[in-house]
Amino acid sequence: MSRPLAALTGASGFLGRHIGRALEGGGYRVRILARAAPSTQDGLEAASELVVGRLDDGEALAVLVRGCEVVVHAAGLIKARRRQDFTLVNVEGSRRLAQAAARHAPDARIVQVSSLAAREPLLSSYAASKRAAEDAMRQVLAPDRLTIVRPPAIYGPGDRETLALFRAVKSLPMIPLPGADRARLALIHVADAARQIAALAQTDASGATWALADGRPQGYGWKQIMAAAGEALGRRRAFVQLPASAVLAVGAVSAGLARLGGGAPIFNLGKARELLHPDWSVAPSDLAPGGPPLRFDLAGGFADTVAWYRAQGWL
């Protein structure tokens, strides 16, 4: 008997690569959407089939979803120069994929990988686009076909964004704390996030929106997070609390420099506001029931991440 087929967007991204492996490990053949044929360095070994195309290519999306049992939508921008860019990719790309699934894969389950940031759409253009992308999917697909997953901050091997945190802890004489003492931030290791998402792909969709988190869904304080990073690096540092005005100023300067250079900054005013938001915790009732057991707590996950960074020469 042939294995069931799963379609995956965003397979070349940090989380998407891990989702592909988790789907393959769960017994699926994996068909991916990619802008070009992957090289041997792209880490897409889990893919059984390749469709070359983009989220604005209706023909490619039709080929991607046709004959699939499940479609996992993990593609999206996490940084952009303009709000319109987030809208074009995150919102309209989700809408087009949902339309393709409705027309060409009427029996497929759809799992949309959103973000916990969608809970607070007024904080940033990114957060607003993730909420709007969820709404776009709901407008096209019946509830019994759609599951939305909102991961919190994700870290782990291959993540270039969290690398900046570890580099700062390694090199700075004092560890900066960007949020207030009362702030709480849920986290999850990328391997655990991918396994949870792959498990949801195998369950009947119910129109539910589920959050992800590690074994501490109530989240961590910034001092806990930075201290755990220091332990993983073998560094002990004193802490210094950054005022909110300083965090916002860094976001503004980063965005300005990126505009001058023609790039898209990962850290800007919107990201600064996300960073300063006091409550990125997850209620236990928001977690999907019956998922696979978690492999990593914060200490183990950070140790695994640092070991990978060092093996790759990133740290």
CB 126 within 8 A of CB 78: yes
Task: Name the residue with higher pLDDT: 204 or 155.
Answer: 155
Torsion of Cα atoms, 96 then 101 then 102 then 105, to 10°: 160
- Can you give the residue range of the structural domain that contains 82? 5-155+187-214+280-294
259 pLDDT exceeds 90? no
- Which pLDDT value is given to residue 47? 64
For residue 148 the two structure tokens come to 């939305």
Residue 300 lies in a domain: no
CATH number of residue 209's parent domain = 3.40.50.720
Residue 259 lies in a domain: no
Closest by CA to 197, choosing from 42, 64, 25, 66, is: 25
Residue 191 lies in a domain: yes
Residue 163 lies in a domain: no
For residue 115 the two structure tokens come to 């973000």
Task: Name the residue with higher pLDDT: 261 or 129.
Answer: 129
Place of tokens 């686009």: 129
29 pLDDT exceeds 80? yes
Cα(163)–Cα(91) distance, integer angstroms: 28
Residue 241 lies in a domain: no
Cα(236)–Cα(176) distance, integer angstroms: 13
Residue 147 lies in a domain: yes
- Which pLDDT value is given to residue 80? 83
- Which pLDDT value is given to residue 133? 98
Task: Name the residue with higher pLDDT: 113 or 270.
Answer: 113
- Structural domain count of the chain: 1
- Which pLDDT value is given to residue 42? 55
Residue 242 lies in a domain: no
Residue 37 lies in a domain: yes
194 pLDDT exceeds 70? yes
Q: Is 53 left (phi over 0), alpha (psi -120 to 50) or beta?
A: left
- Which pLDDT value is given to residue 37? 72
20 pLDDT exceeds 90? yes
Cα four-point dihedral sign 14, 133, 275, 263: positive
> Residue 1 — pLDDT band, cuts 50, 70, 90?
low
3 pLDDT exceeds 60? yes
Mean pLDDT of 123-134: 97
Cα(303)–Cα(315) distance, integer angstroms: 13
For residue 87 the two structure tokens come to 């809208």
Which pTM value belongs to this model?
Answer: 0.93
Average pLDDT, rounded, for the chain: 91
> Residue 291 — pLDDT band, cuts 50, 70, 90?
confident
131 pLDDT exceeds 90? yes
191 pLDDT exceeds 70? yes
